[in-house]
Structure 1
């Protein structure tokens, strides 16, 4: 995982995502998911480009079922943008970098 991409888990999700002061982009994925692996480099690019303005991380849905269940993740990859502890935008499936950038740009103040 790239250095700017955090790992979110059942135990740190509330403190690192829901209580964050900045917007947080979360990639819900699993190691066996081909489309998830296709999306990973895009998430890493977003993390680099928005470093210092947006927190970016991943949730392995196999290892962290509580967070995945709480957010009704039924298809992966799913990317959610959280702001103020709430989901403000969601993208399901492999998304182009421009789509993820637009999601973030819409919520940067």
Structure 2
């Protein structure tokens, strides 16, 4: 989280005792329950040096919940990857296994592409 002073641009001091500074940062979206998530599982190898990765997109929610789901999928597949910007990247072609794990955990997921 950013330092409190770095978010307060343009306000130096206020003499109003009831003053509450309003930030322009958007509120973080609440994580939808697994039954309402529309996840898409696909194979991707663009801009990755020809390496194949399983890409899971469509996650709506907090970044901490995305990290938790990403860690679960990477652990179950026994590989590395990352989870950021609403996407989970699992190294290798694990579309079927990832889809099975997501469906078993109650997520609405479907495979995209061949």
TM-score by length of 2: 0.29
Flag the structure with larger Rg: 2
Select the structure with the greater relative contact order (CA < 8 A; seq sep ≥ 6). 1
